[in-house]
Amino acid sequence: MRKTIIAGNWKMNKTNKEAVEMLTELKELVKGVDSVGIVIGAPFTALSDAVKAVEGSNVKIAAENVYPKDSGAYTGEVSPVMLKDLGVEYVILGHSERREYFKESDEFINEKVKAVLAHGMTPILCIGEKLEDREAGRTDEVNKTQIRGGFAGLTGEEAKKIVVAYEPVWAIGTGKTATPEIAQETHKAIRQELTEMFGEEVANEITIQYGGSMKPNNAKELLAQADIDGGLIGGASLKATDFYDIIKAAL
Ligand code: 13P
């Protein structure tokens, strides 16, 4: 069945040197862990050395964004060809910070999903409702729209390759985690939407991570839920020992 994946998202943190130091420590800690996928999302500037630092280990490297063209006149952007060339295996897409600060739409995110798949990397597609959506009873509607948008035009075989990260925006960096029950309920609704789009067999194979103030002290309960297949971790992925404690909670 589906794989549990614990991924870090460093966001705009860590110089190249700090990245290599953390990864060197992490890869020693996680030696021999094979039942859980381990991924670290690093800023573009650290990717090349990050991939080298984890070479031969069970830690994989993610980029935190991509532009959905192979090359061309797109000043300041980074293409999937460039990421693949470095040895990057995952790309975090549609994070709520990109949706909010950089006005990324579901259509644009869908282009990125397709570009990442076309180059043999794994998209980590982030979705999630804002506090005002949850309070207005629109949680499932918002997540459905983001799922429909992100997965638009894909075959079942392609859909299976995507990792979804459900991150309620109100839980990101706030210390407010969704309770395991609330998270499970929402994950179940997301899997239901994927079932409607692609059928049960495909939906059951898609890893759905939870993200939003996941920490060593709450990870176990969240990860014990039937439809929570891992985590996408911000703050607690910056220190190797904290991140390792979350990985241990998934074993
Ligand atoms: P925090 O774990 O810091 O709440 O961040 C979650 C997140 O946004 C991961 O992508």
Summarised one tens digit per residue, pLDDT across range 80-101 is: 999 999 999 999 999 999 999 9
The CA 246 to ligand 1 mean position distance, Å, reads 13
Q: Whose CA is nearest to atom 5 of ligand 1?
A: 234
**DSSP per-residue string spanning the chain:** -PPEEEEEE--S---HHHHHHHHHHHHHHTTT--SEEEEEE--HHHHHHHHHHTTTSSEEEEES---SSSSSS-TT---HHHHHHHT--EEEES-HHHHHHS---HHHHHHHHHHHHHTT-EEEEEE---HHHHHTT-HHHHHHHHHHHHTTT--HHHHTTPEEEE--GGGTTTS-PPPHHHHHHHHHHHHHHHHHHH-HHHHTTS-EEEESS--TTTHHHHHTSTT--EEEESGGGSSHHHHHHHHHHT-
Q: Whose CA is nearest to atom 7 of ligand 1?
A: 234
Q: Is 173 in the pocket of ligand 1 (CB under 6 A)?
A: yes
The pLDDT of residue 149: 98
The CA 199 to ligand 1 mean position distance, Å, reads 30
- pLDDT of 21 over the 90 cut: yes
Q: Mean pLDDT across the stretch 232-249?
A: 98
The CA 5 to ligand 1 mean position distance, Å, reads 15
Q: Is 233 in the pocket of ligand 1 (CB under 6 A)?
A: yes
4-249: CATH topology: TIM Barrel (3.20.20)
Tell me the domain boundaries of the chain.
4-249
The CA 213 to ligand 1 mean position distance, Å, reads 6
Summarised one tens digit per residue, pLDDT across range 146-168 is: 999 999 999 999 999 999 999 99
- Tell me if residue 187 is catalytic: no
Summarised one tens digit per residue, pLDDT across range 2-12 is: 999 999 999 99
- pLDDT of 170 over the 90 cut: yes
Q: Which atom of ligand 1 is nearest to the CA of 92?
A: 10
- Tell me if residue 21 is catalytic: no
Q: Which atom of ligand 1 is nearest to the CA of 236?
A: 2
Q: Which atom of ligand 1 is nearest to the CA of 211?
A: 6
Summarised one tens digit per residue, pLDDT across range 115-133 is: 999 999 999 999 999 999 9
